[in-house]
Structure 1
Amino acid sequence: MTETARRAVTPWRSGEPPAEDLDRIIDALCRLLPAWLPRQRWYAGKGHAAPEVRPLLAEAVVPGDPALVQTVFRSGDGECYQLLIGATAAPAEAGTGVPADTVIGTSRTRDGRHLTLYEAGSDPEPLSRLLDRFVAAEPSGALAFYRFPGARIPEGLRARPLTAEQSNTSVAFGDRMMLKVLRRIVPGANPELEMLAALERAGDVPSAAPLAWAETVGPFGAEPATLCILQEFVPSRGDGWSIATAEAEACVRGACDSVAPPGGFSAESFALGQATAQVHLALAQQLEARTLSPPETAELTDALMTRLDHALAEVPDITPYVRGLRTAYQDLRETVRRGNPLPVQRVHGDLHLGQVLRAADGWVLIDFEGEPGHPLAERRHPQPAVRDVAAMLRSFDYAAHHALGRILGAPPAERTSGDPRGTRLTRRASAWAVHNRRAFCAGYTAAGGRDPRTSPVLLRAFEADKAVYEVLYEARNRPEWLPIPLAAVRRLAHGNRSAG
């Protein structure tokens, strides 16, 4: 957006916009969002009729042009979404105004001027000024901004929106801070705030220190809802997914540096296992940790069975493996019934290679909100730590086969089994995954975590549950990748863990 366009008209010169203009913007959004929302990756109601939306919160947090309006809408399915709305007199056209791919539509001010309304999560101008609200840390109408004790928030840093595809919006401020703007909004204690605070209390844990947060005041009833979390920025070489898939591709091609068969990344996998164990130990020390009773274990395995039934109803490809998967869950229940306690604690809840950063001195775990699509109470509920371990083991499998797809130039469903080169490279990819899964488990154990390989029944049950989740996800979003989790389902149904 050019400076000329920014100065063309200032819809609100100081303070908040007139109430009439804000009402017009909200009315326009209620009209425009039903067609816009289903096109967004993070919207959960895809495949349904155009959603009706109802505004729950609208606060002009940054005046001027562009102005920034922080909003929360409830869709027809009951989900609540936060949108950072930019409002500007600049037109939506290449080179002179708002990028076309961010435009939601237009509104008018009370004096008849046109405003372009756009999704502002990628606009540095208003996001840079949003930082002032965290510096002030004071209530603002329906919003409240808070700082953690002792946190220092420097002023005047330029916002740099991050472009990686993800469920939330992430904004870096220099190399000092990172702001996470949550998309799906739920009232109640935020699990990421809880766990970041716990890890900060524990000290010397590979996570990013929390600095501040913003939450609602009033619109959700008695309990506030967290909207944004500001934390320290972690300078890194990249995320685990990018690094691991590059290493896997090199090894599958036979070009990796390590002499270990098939080498590559194993030292990093070992270190990542250590970092995961350190986080688990700190969470167990700072937050709730106990053992499940047999009735609670039965409730847990019933939930695994229910998820399997839901997946079966939608993806009949798993029919041949259902009996073996149910046996895996029943074996878990029987193991506890025989007197083997099942320890539970707060866990990451959505751990995979994309949720870790390779900092200069080791791996750092990020994004502790859990699986955003799951209920808040479930995300805050203590779980076996092996759930995180199983999820990371599945991520190594995905990294290997994603790299394989890049080499062969085709997703799994399009590969021919009669291709000798494809068969040979597939074996190398599988060997890379096994090699790094073992290294991760060894590192986890070396750092004081319970060796997951000594609890094969537990590990098999939770890895199977994760693979079933992946089957459902791929069937809905990337059917060409369905063979990856289906292969894991087949392996786990037959009792083969391939983790050590």
Structure 2
Amino acid sequence: MTTPDVRARGLAAPLAGWLPEQRWFAGKHRTVRTVTPVSCVALVETEPLLDHVVVEVAYAAGAPDRYQLLLGYRRQLPEKLQHVRIGAVDDLVAYAGLWDDVLAEELLRLLDSGAVRGGLRFRPEAGAAIPRGEPSRVVDVEQSNTSVVYDESAILKLFRRLTPGRNPDVELNRALRRAGSEHVAELLGEVEGELLGDTVSYAMVSAYAANSAEGWAMATASVRDLFAEGDLRADEVGGDFAGEAERLGEAIAAVHADLADTLGSTELDRAGYAELSTGMIGRLSDAVGVVPELAPHADALRTEFAAVAGLTDACPVQRIHGDLHLGQVLRTPTSWLVIDFEGEPVKPLAERLLPDSPLRDVAGMLRSFDYAAEHLLVGDTADDHQLEFRAQEWAARNRKAFCTGYAGAARVDPMRHAALLRAYELDKAVYEVVYEATHRPAWRSIPLRSIARMVAAGS
């Protein structure tokens, strides 16, 4: 039987073609030059085999990336696993092991036993009940990571793109559970360890939020209900979302309060405001170079961002979610849950760990309400002024409800810092324009229209 490193080296060529096809691979628009294994650890040594492999992907230009893979090996690959086949090594067929029920179960067994394999440590949380013997399925909607759901008991998230340091998703979930927060799922355990001298978070396992609905799905269903009722206002439609938006605001305020109490907070000073302003202006300059459609708004945006340097209001800064939107919240039968505390994946980990204003999270959610309202207007309905009016009516109602809920629970109205909140919204919209131009060109009209409206309203 070959060793894990021999098996991984034998897959270098197949992996160079397979990796760019994965939705979590961030280098899709770059030319892969080589795929080199830098860490290979056998997790299961009887068929089906399971190896944990970290590969370094070198590109024709730019810095390399490191990704972790869980590679399964069988002599005969069942039909149900043919879609995740990667290649062949000697007499074995390699495939993406997370799709194999047998191997997915082995990961929970390793966690339950607190196993150590090479540089990997499987660490269950104290007192956590790790489920065993339950069917598993891979979640097919994630992009930057891969998750496996075990029936309705647990969910394992594998952090695909590895960077040195502890992942904030693990850190902040643990801190919130320590604070007794009811707005995060119970953390059951993590996989962490050392990689080439650095501490790395590999995976986390949490309780699964059964019978839950994603905030984005609920909000967009509400917009569709509104569009279907041509003669009713947003507050008259049966699918009105405003009550949930207000309760969501309360939940986010509670999460911010728990993070501040557990991990501490400070306040923005003059230097902090100046640094924030400089960052916004810099991101705008970069964005205009990528998306020329931003150029007509650049002067007005630069003025908005420059004004942040002159703010003097006492504004708290603390650990926050960092990438908050309606796709990061789940409605359970009893409460709203917040998930995915990694922050914006394009930012370096060191930057995602820095304290920031809770207003950045508020702005992210406000932008998400605008997206929910506007996404149905992409394409053939883009010039339907009646639908545009109704979309903005929906967005305004739910944005107000969210801020009302947040202010009531936090005892601080976000609108007391209206100038800073507005700058955060515009900064997020600039980011969105670049993202959409790169990944979903047809959608870039959503943030561009938002910027135009906000600039016009502020002039």
Q: TM-score range by the shorter chain?
A: over 0.9
Q: CA deviation at 1:496?
A: 4.6
Equivalent of 1:494, from 441, 456, 459? 456
1:351-500, aligned counterparts within 5 Å? Answer: 351-402=324-375, 404-405=376-377, 411-412=378-379, 414-415=380-381, 417=383, 422-496=384-458
Instruction: Tell me the equivalent position of 1:103.
Output: 85
Q: Secondary structure at the match of 2:79?
A: coil
- Provide, for residues 238-264 of structure 1, a one-character-per-residue CA deviation record: whole Å limited to 9, x for no partner: 111111111111112118998725671
Equivalent of 1:260, from 227, 235, 241? 235
Q: Does 1:288 align with 2:288?
A: no
58-67 vs 229-238, greater mean Cα deviation: 58-67
CA–CA distance in structure 2, aligned partners of residues 351 and 236 of structure 1: 22
Q: Does 1:160 align with 2:133?
A: no
Q: Is contact 1:62–1:130 with CA below 8 Å preserved after alignment?
A: no
CA–CA distance in structure 2, aligned partners of residues 359 and 258 of structure 1: 27
Mark the CA change 1:484 to 1:433 in structure 2 (over 3 Å): closer, same or farther. Answer: same
What is the identity, as a one-letter code, of the residue corresponding to 1:246?
A
Structure 2 unaligned blocks of 5 or more: none
Mark the CA change 1:237 to 1:97 in structure 2 (over 3 Å): closer, same or farther. Answer: closer
Q: CA deviation at 1:26?
A: 0.8
479-488 vs 289-298, greater mean Cα deviation: 289-298
TM-score (norm 1): 0.86
Instruction: Tell me the equivalent position of 2:12.
Output: 30
CA–CA distance in structure 1, aligned partners of residues 9 and 297 of structure 2: 51
Q: Which runs of 4+ in 1 moved over 6 A?
A: 255-259
What is the identity, as a one-letter code, of the residue corresponding to 1:155?
R
Instruction: Tell me the equivalent position of 1:275.
Output: 251
Q: CA deviation at 1:333?
A: 1.2
Mark the CA change 1:342 to 1:178 in structure 2 (over 3 Å): closer, same or farther. Answer: same
Q: Is contact 2:185–2:208 with CA below 8 Å preserved after alignment?
A: yes
CA–CA distance in structure 2, aligned partners of residues 288 and 190 of structure 1: 18
Q: Secondary structure at the match of 1:482?
A: helix
CA–CA distance in structure 2, aligned partners of residues 60 and 285 of structure 1: 41
CA–CA distance in structure 1, aligned partners of residues 106 and 88 of structure 2: 23
CA–CA distance in structure 2, aligned partners of residues 97 and 335 of structure 1: 59
TM-score (norm 2): 0.94
Equivalent of 2:105, from 114, 128, 140? 128
Q: CA deviation at 1:179?
A: 0.9
Q: Does 1:199 align with 2:176?
A: yes
Identity of matched residues, %:
39
CA–CA distance in structure 2, aligned partners of residues 148 and 324 of structure 1: 50
1:245-256, aligned counterparts within 5 Å? Answer: 245-254=220-229
Q: Secondary structure at the match of 1:229?
A: strand
Instruction: Tell me the equivalent position of 2:278.
Output: 302
Structure 1 unaligned blocks of 5 or more: 1-17, 406-410
CA–CA distance in structure 1, aligned partners of residues 214 and 190 of structure 2: 24
Q: Secondary structure at the match of 1:494?
A: helix
444-453 vs 469-478, greater mean Cα deviation: 444-453
- Provide, for residues 137-167 of structure 1, a one-character-per-residue CA deviation record: whole Å limited to 9, x for no partner: 1211121111222222233233232222332
Equivalent of 1:324, from 274, 281, 300? 300
- Provide, for residues 440-473 of structure 1, a one-character-per-residue CA deviation record: whole Å limited to 9, x for no partner: 1111111125211221111111001110111001
Q: Secondary structure at the match of 1:335?
A: coil
What is the identity, as a one-letter code, of the residue corresponding to 1:443?
G
Instruction: Tell me the equivalent position of 1:85.
Output: 71
Mark the CA change 1:244 to 1:255 in structure 2 (over 3 Å): closer, same or farther. Answer: farther
Q: Secondary structure at the match of 2:53?
A: strand
- Provide, for residues 205-248 of structure 1, a one-character-per-residue CA deviation record: whole Å limited to 9, x for no partner: 3111211111123x331x31010101111123311111111111
1:39-78, aligned counterparts within 5 Å? Answer: 39-76=21-58, 77-78=63-64
What is the identity, as a one-letter code, of the residue corresponding to 1:298?
A
Q: Does 1:313 align with 2:299?
A: no
Mark the CA change 1:127 to 1:357 in structure 2 (over 3 Å): closer, same or farther. Answer: same
CA–CA distance in structure 2, aligned partners of residues 255 and 495 of structure 1: 27
Mark the CA change 1:106 to 1:190 in structure 2 (over 3 Å): closer, same or farther. Answer: same
Q: CA deviation at 1:492?
A: 2.6
What is the identity, as a one-letter code, of the residue corresponding to 2:321?
H
CA RMSD of aligned residues (A): 2.1
CA–CA distance in structure 2, aligned partners of residues 236 and 70 of structure 1: 32
CA–CA distance in structure 2, aligned partners of residues 495 and 51 of structure 1: 48
Q: CA deviation at 1:313?
A: 0.5
Mark the CA change 1:146 to 1:165 in structure 2 (over 3 Å): closer, same or farther. Answer: closer
Equivalent of 1:242, from 179, 202, 217? 217
Give the number of equivalent residue pairs: 454
Q: Secondary structure at the match of 2:355?
A: coil
- Provide, for residues 327-368 of structure 1, a one-character-per-residue CA deviation record: whole Å limited to 9, x for no partner: 1111211113xxx22320000011111111110112110111
What is the identity, as a one-letter code, of the residue corresponding to 1:445?
A
Q: Secondary structure at the match of 2:436?
A: helix
Q: Secondary structure at the match of 2:116?
A: coil
Mark the CA change 1:97 to 1:415 in structure 2 (over 3 Å): closer, same or farther. Answer: closer
What is the identity, as a one-letter code, of the residue corresponding to 2:74?
T
